[in-house]
Chains A and B, each alone.
Chain A
């Protein structure tokens, strides 16, 4: 079994209004050195497969079809073998 973590990031070329709002908030709080805030998404789940190769294939397909929109987002996958469930 694997524990998967998918990190979804909006492409740099696309405005991230939530990141902009957080950046503005930082300035209001007096954190003047905080710049270019981007808010990403992190999704965690288990994959009931024993082969890492198969697990990666399944997670990649799932991420591309549902978790991320390939038009505006990129994603990276982290897989860790585990017995925990």
Chain B
């Protein structure tokens, strides 16, 4: 079957159009916006929770967005095995809604960081990073609260299950405290749920999908999802 991407739009989302543009015009996939008040996913088989500052990120990042009508549908879809990717604020929303473990707190430096970082694809994900395991990619980050935290006993579990898909690293792939921009535990930049159908990541692959603007090394995340869906016959793939 063919992929149909749905980009959820919350009040305060600001990377929704970047995601739409990248998917439609750079990658050529079918994509549509999903307004957060609509309790329907309109037949989309991949859901993207984009970056931004949903509801101003008051209370905590993502704390109010998780209560939007569409999130009940997204949670149901994810629990049935549907593919969901949360980028930046979307990652925060996934953690707040309980689809991913842990929490994202203020960067260790207290600064909003907007720069290119290198990521090592440390996990294996047939859905989100097919054939990319072990490679180093350069993708931008832009966040003030991307410092991933989880209790020590839980981090061991995530590591054991191979859920850590992306880690901040040096250009040569070395994972070090110096290559960690925000203080995330174990240099975590992105992780999946146990089943492997939900991904949260702080870096913005949708901002790295165009050679014209200098970087298309984020394309592989979306093309991997599309190839995975194309290889399946059923609607819910897990």
Contacts and interface: CB of A to CB of B under 8 A. Distances in A.
B59 A67 contact: yes
A69 B150 CA distance: 12
B107 interface: yes
B59 A66 contact: yes
Contact of B110 (A18, A66, A67, A72): A18
Interface string A37-66: 000000000000000000000000000001
B4 interface: no
Given A69-B96, A69-B103, A72-B149, A15 B108 contact: yes
Given A66-B59, A69-B96, A72-B149, A14 B105 contact: yes
Contacts of B102: 71
Given A69-B96, A72-B149, A17 B105 contact: yes
Nearest to A68: B60
Given A69-B60, A69-B103, A17 B110 contact: yes
A75 B95 CA distance: 19
Contacts of B108: 15, 17
B63 interface: yes
B205 interface: no
B63 to A, nearest CB: 6
Given A17-B105, A17-B106, A17-B107, A69 B63 contact: yes
B123 interface: no
Grouping DSSP codes into helix (H, G, I), strand (E, B) and loop, the B interface class, with mixed when no group exceeds half, is: loop
B183 interface: yes
A14 B106 CA distance: 11
Nearest to A41: B59
Given A21-B110, A71-B103, A72-B105, A15 B63 contact: no
Contact of A15 (B59, B64, B67, B105): B105
A15 B110 CA distance: 11
A66 B31 CA distance: 32
A15 B103 contact: no
22 contacts: A14-B105, A15-B105, A15-B149, A17-B105, A17-B106, A17-B107, A17-B109, A17-B110, A18-B110, A21-B110, A66-B63, A66-B64, A66-B67, A69-B60, A69-B96, A69-B103, A71-B95, A71-B101, A71-B102, A71-B103, A72-B105, A72-B149
Considering the complex of A and B, which 7 residue pairs feature the smallest CB-CB distances, nearest first? Answer: A17-B106, A71-B103, A17-B110, A72-B103, A21-B110, A69-B103, A69-B60
Interface of B: 59-60, 63-64, 67, 95-96, 101-103, 105-110, 147, 149-151, 183
Given A13-B151, A17-B105, A66-B63, 12 more contacts: A15-B105, A15-B108, A17-B106, A17-B107, A17-B109, A17-B147, A18-B106, A66-B59, A69-B63, A69-B103, A71-B102, A71-B103
